[in-house]
Each structure stands twice: as C-alpha cells, then as structure tokens.
Amino acid sequence: MSGNWGDIEVRELLALRALDEIHRHITGTVKDGPVLEKLTRLHRERGFSRTKAQVASKLKCLRKKFHQVNDYNGKTGRGRLEWTYFDLCQSIWGSSHSAEPSAESGPLSDTDASSTKGESVSHDRPVADAALIKDGCDSRAASLARIEEHDDCD
C-alpha cells in the first residue's frame, strides 16, 4: 500500500500510538526505532501495510498538524478549527500526557500491547477534515488555508 492514508488506517495508527505500552517508550529521538518497529508490526497485524519510515513520517505530520490546530484554537478572539483527528491526537500529544517516558518503564517487550489485536476504534462524531465550526471570518479562513497548504499528511 502506498500513497494516501485512509481514515480508518490513520485512526488505527493513532489508537496504537496512544497505547500506554507504546506512549511511555517514545522519546522523540533516534532511539525510538524499536518502538516504531513494534508500532508498525501492530499496525500491520490490523491489516495495513506500511513501512516503519511511512509510519514515522505520518506520525510526525499528524503531530505537526495537531500543534498547528491546537495553537490556532488557543489564541483568544478566534473561532475554533475542528479537525477530524484532533481528539485522538490530544490523547497522545495533549497536555495530560508527559513529554518524557516513564522512569519506571522497562524495555518494550513483544507481549506489550498484544491485547489490542483486533480491537476497533470508536468514531463517535466524524467531522469534516479541518472544517471551520463557524463561517464568515476571513482571518480564520486564511489561517485554515495556511494549515492546509502545508498539510502533506496524505
């Protein structure tokens, strides 16, 4: 499989990335190789065929877009942008998660996160990708256009 990522494929990747067994071992450095290999393997077990490089690139792009939307929404006097993957990304990169792996986390074993095989992700309220909640504000539209212009997440 190459090219664009499907919605379910992205949601499954984010669901796997949000697992504590994965999250606590990601450091944002080159030492993440074994964790990304495990994440890629788990993603493959769910029926998706991506390389470790594709998974790493996709996660980097999603994180960048999450921070763009989050920063935009955090500024006062602006309407909010709504993005399809915002809630899933918030659970990974939001302020409630520590930026550092847990001090007591040991090495990631092959049995970690194995109980997730075959589980599905809940999709309670789908929204249009990066759609504005309210219409009519040129500055919001311009900001959205800048976020979308640099969106190479597909």
Render pLDDT for 20-39 as a digit per residue (tens, 0 to 9): 888 888 877 778 899 999 99
In a domain, 136, yes or no: yes
pLDDT band at 147 (very low <50, low <70, confident <90, very high): low
Tally the domains of the chain.
1
- Using DSSP, state whether 121 is helix, strand or coil: coil
In a domain, 107, yes or no: no
108 within a domain of the structure (yes/no):
no
DSSP 93-116: HSTTS-SS--TT-----TTTTGGG
Residue 24 belongs to domain spanning: 7-98+115-149
58 and 13 Cβ atoms separated by less than 8 Å: yes
Which tokens go with 124?
Answer: 């309670």
* pLDDT score for 117: 37
Cα distance between residue 32 and residue 29, in whole Å: 6
